[in-house]
Amino acid sequence: MTTIQTKCLIIGSGPAGYTAAIYAARAGMNPLLYKGHQPGGQLTITNDVENYPGYPDGVMGPQMMVDFEKQAARFGTDIRSGLIERVSFDKNGGTHLAWDENGNEIHAQTVIISTGASAKWLGIPSETRLNGKGVSACAVCDGFFFRKQEVAIVGAGDTACEEASYLSKICSKVYMIVRSDKMRASQIMQKRVENTPNIEILWNTETDEILGSEEVSGVRVRNRETGELKEIAVTGFFVAIGHKPNTDIFKGQLELDETGYLITQKGSSLTNIEGVFASGDAQDKIYRQAVTAAGTGCMAALDAERYLAAKEAVEA
């Protein structure tokens, strides 16, 4: 077990973490980055990425994250596999402490959090087997691949309604699977989907099985009142039942909202503790796109650099 000193500790990878590393490394901060439990973030389970600038022919999600990692390493980022398991932030803006899974103790002048968020899933085997083969947790990311096709979406909140509306503009038919006889979404969002001709809401319905061997070919649903099973031919199946931010280790130290997302000061990456910054999906429950995550990673690195510069000026 060793003690590691760093100007900048980055917890988590993905577009936010790697972008923060690129900027921090170029600023001479010699960042130390821990990849986390899902190196590269959610893009490592995304097949085709066509909406990220700079890849005119599209790119596979895992390859894109390899490119990001190589660029961060090129400028001198110390990239390590594994998890940060525990943190202790100095509320007075002093040295922040963290411990990795091997027991190493890290002393960091600044910390950038980019731990992301994990999509909530239904928990059925076919959902895992066909993930990336027609099953997706992001309609905005993957809906384009199903243009002029029939798809299904599960969920009853604002996100599900927004994504159903989005899909309705590019898909020929959208089946919206709702477990009860009402939605949790706001009235305006409910009215929007109810008034969209090519959205069919299946009330009191739950997913029994996603059909298909190599890719999605349909979904079998069960009526919760009658028990009747019905098969619907679709090529895409979207899960929109929410995300869980990966922020548990920060509870009790950083300000979180009611669903666990890190709270940052408006227009910045600053948290409630000096020298600790948040980026990516761990603090963004609205957009959740690779390009916006990368943008906030850049913000966090710039904020960290300015924080250190101001601190050094005072101490000089």
* pLDDT tens digit sequence for 167-185: 999 999 999 999 999 999 9
Domain identity same for 129 and 110: no
**Known catalytic residue: 171?**
no
- Structural domain including 221 reads 121-239
Token code pair at residue 271: 């948290």
Token code pair at residue 308: 């250190």
The CA distance from 139 to 84, in Å, is 31
Domain identity same for 109 and 201: no
Residue with tokens 């000089």: 316
100-117: per-residue pLDDT in tens? 999 999 999 999 999 999
CATH code, domain with 200: 3.50.50.60
| Mean pLDDT within 292-315 | 95
| Residue of 142, 281, 284, 303 marked active site | 142
| Residue of 67, 78, 138, 158 marked active site | 138
Q: Which DSSP symbol is given to 180? A: S
**Where among 239, 273, 303 does a domain terminate?**
239
Token code pair at residue 101: 């899974």
**Known catalytic residue: 90?**
no
pLDDT of 293: 96
The CA distance from 58 to 241, in Å, is 27
Domain identity same for 102 and 68: yes
Domain identity same for 132 and 280: no
The CA distance from 229 to 210, in Å, is 13
pLDDT of 45: 67
| Residue of 141, 161, 171, 298 marked active site | 141
Contacts of 272 (CB under 8 A, 6+ apart): 254, 255, 263
**Known catalytic residue: 141?**
yes
The CA distance from 254 to 13, in Å, is 20
Q: Is the pTM of this model over 0.85?
A: no
48-72: per-residue pLDDT in tens? 788 899 999 999 888 999 999 999 9
Of 235, 29, 58, 47, nearest in space to 149 by CA? 235
Domain identity same for 231 and 248: no
Domain identity same for 21 and 166: no
Do residues 253 and 89 lie in contact, with contact meaning Cβ atoms separated by under 8 Å? Answer: yes
The CA distance from 110 to 307, in Å, is 8
